[in-house]
Amino acid sequence: MIRLPVRVLPHGAGLPLPAYQTAGAAGMDLVAAVEAPTTIAPGARALVPTGLAIALPEGYEAQVRPRSGLAARHGVTVLNAPGTIDADYRGEVQVILVNHGEEPFVVSRGDRIAQLVVAPVTRAAPVVVEDLDETDRGAGGFGSTGRS
């Protein structure tokens, strides 16, 4: 387990820190640090503060991912999923929520709105080549591998 320094911003005071809800959970829940309930209309999006800033160790990233329950029950998800937080970012963690549902969705202070998954990062060095190795798929794009 790695150490994740967390700075609680003034509007995040009193809210729980990101936490794993079960022993086998991959993501920690993030909660909303809104001052007042915020309504997201169907088809609309909102930038929701968490009241937290983090200091990831070098070689790691944090991914902001949707919560499956919000998506299944309300059609609310993270718009840029997964959102990436780089190791050198020190600003507030915020979540872009979008309402794909048919009803307005209200975000209240302390609501669990997303998951935070911390993962190692592998860096790559692009190298220009004349040809790429052949594969069975080749250049087949979206849907090229079939439905089953």
| Predicted confidence (pLDDT) per residue in 16-33, tens digit | 999 999 999 999 999 999
Distances (CA, A) of 122 to 13, 59, 80, 128, 142: 34, 8, 21, 19, 25
Binding residues, as ranges, are 67-69, 80, 84-86
- Domain interval for residue 43: 6-120
- The residue written with tokens 């200091």 in the block is 55
The predicted structure's pLDDT at residue 137: 84
Per the annotation, where are the binding residues for substrate?
Answer: 67-69, 80, 84-86
Whether the pLDDT of residue 146 is over 80: the answer is no
Whether 59 maps to a domain, the answer reads yes
pLDDT at site 142: 79
Per-residue HEC secondary structure of 78-140 comes to ECCCCEEECCCCCCEEEEEEEECCCCCEEECCCCEEEEEEEEECCCCCCCCCCCCCCCCCCCC
pTM, full prediction: 0.89
CATH number of the domain that residue 18 is part of: 2.70.40.10
Count of structural domains within the chain: 1
Specify the pLDDT at position 100.
Answer: 98
Q: Which residue has the higher pLDDT, 137 or 102?
A: 102
